[in-house]
Amino acid sequence: MMPKNLSSDFLNYLAETYQVDEDCERLPSLMELSKQLGVSLSSLREQMEVGRALGLIEARPRTGLRRLPYSFTPAVDQSLSYAITIDQEYFLKFADLRSNLEAVYWHQAVDLLTDEDKGALLGLVEQAWEKLRGTPIQIPQYEHRQLHLTIYNRLDNPFVSGLLEAYWEAYEAVGLNLYAGYKYLEEVWTYHQQMVDGIYSGDLEAGYQALIEHTDLIRHRVIESEDGNMVVAQSSGELTSF
C-alpha cells in the first residue's frame, strides 16, 4: 500500500525514515534537516511543532531531536480537550464511545492478561478498599484509572489504547475524579471487585456483566443542566457544576 502524502515535509520525512529503520530514534540537527528537506528553519520549526503536538518527536537540550514510539493518545487528547472546551456535551459522547469500546474488547483483552497482570488488578482493588475504609477516606482515582487501563494493556492496538488513555485524561479534566459520594464509590468498587474476581477465577462472563452494569453508573452521575452545562449528581442529591 502506497503511503499518502502527509501534511508537511517533516512528517513525510519521519514516516519515510521510520520505514527504512524503525529502531532509529535520533534525528539530524535542525540545520541538517533544513538542508536535507529544502525548507527554511522557520518553516521547519513550525512543522516540528505539529510533530510535537502529535507526540511523534521530542527535543531536549542535550540529546537533541528524538523520534518517539507511535502513540495515538496525544492526537486524541488534543482534539478531545478542544471539543470539551467548546461544548462539555462532547465528554458524554466520548464516554459512551469508551464504554462500548471496553465492552467490545473485554474478552479479547482479558484472554491476553498474564498472571502478573491479574495479581496487579487484585492489588489495585485492595488498595482502593483501603483508601475508602481508611481515616480519612481517600478517593482511589489512581487505582480506578490503572485498573481499567491494566485490563486492556495487552491489546496490540495503539488506537484502542489511545482512545482509552485519552478518556481518563478527559475524566480528570472535567472533574469527575474530584468528588463522589461514599455510597457511589462503594458501588463502583463493588463492581470493580466483581470484574477482577471474574478475571481471576476465569468466569469472564460474570466479569463482563459487572463491567456493563458499572459503566451505567457514570450516566447516572453526569447529567445536563438546563443551561447546557454538565453537572455531577452526588449521592446526597446535590448537584455540583464543573
pTM of the model: 0.83
pLDDT of residue 235: 39
Q: Residue 117: which pLDDT band, with cuts at 50, 70 and 90?
A: very high
**CATH code of the domain in which 142 resides:** 1.20.120.530
| 6: pLDDT strictly greater than 60 | yes
pLDDT of residue 238: 34
pLDDT of residue 177: 56
Q: How many domains does the chain have?
A: 2
Q: Residue 51: which pLDDT band, with cuts at 50, 70 and 90?
A: very high
Statement to judge: residues 34 and 107 lie in one domain: no
166 lies in a domain?
yes
**Which residue do the cell numbers 494493556 mark?**
153
Torsions phi, psi for 138 (to 5 deg): -120, 145
77 lies in a domain?
no
Measured distance CA(158)–CA(164) in Å, rounded: 10
| 232: pLDDT strictly greater than 50 | no
| 99: pLDDT strictly greater than 50 | yes
3 lies in a domain?
no
pLDDT of residue 145: 95
108 lies in a domain?
yes
Q: Look at residues 97, 193, 188 and name the one whose alpha carbon lies nearest to residue 141.
A: 188
pLDDT of residue 181: 77
Statement to judge: residues 112 and 186 lie in one domain: yes
Statement to judge: residues 214 and 107 lie in one domain: yes
Q: Tally the residues of the chain.
A: 242
Statement to judge: residues 149 and 180 lie in one domain: yes
Statement to judge: residues 210 and 121 lie in one domain: yes
Statement to judge: residues 29 and 59 lie in one domain: yes
pLDDT of residue 226: 42
Q: Residue 221: which pLDDT band, with cuts at 50, 70 and 90?
A: low
Close Cβ partners of 236 (under 8 Å, ≥ 6 residues apart): 181
114 lies in a domain?
yes
119 lies in a domain?
yes
C-beta separation of 173 from 81 below 8 A: yes
Q: Residue 154: which pLDDT band, with cuts at 50, 70 and 90?
A: very high
Statement to judge: residues 131 and 41 lie in one domain: no
Domain of residue 50: give its range. Answer: 9-67
**CATH code of the domain in which 45 resides:** 1.10.10
Q: Look at residues 136, 143, 155 and name the one whose alpha carbon lies nearest to residue 196.
A: 143
Statement to judge: residues 221 and 158 lie in one domain: yes
| 89: pLDDT strictly greater than 70 | yes
32 lies in a domain?
yes
37 lies in a domain?
yes
pLDDT of residue 176: 64
- pLDDT, one tens digit per residue, over 174-200 is 776 555 678 888 999 999 999 999 999
Statement to judge: residues 29 and 105 lie in one domain: no
Statement to judge: residues 40 and 126 lie in one domain: no
pLDDT of residue 2: 47
Statement to judge: residues 205 and 137 lie in one domain: yes
Q: Kindly report which listed range (67-76, 131-140, 221-230) carries the lowest average pLDDT score.
A: 221-230
Residue-averaged pLDDT of the chain: 85
Report residue 205 as a C-alpha cell.
Answer: 462472563
| 147: pLDDT strictly greater than 50 | yes
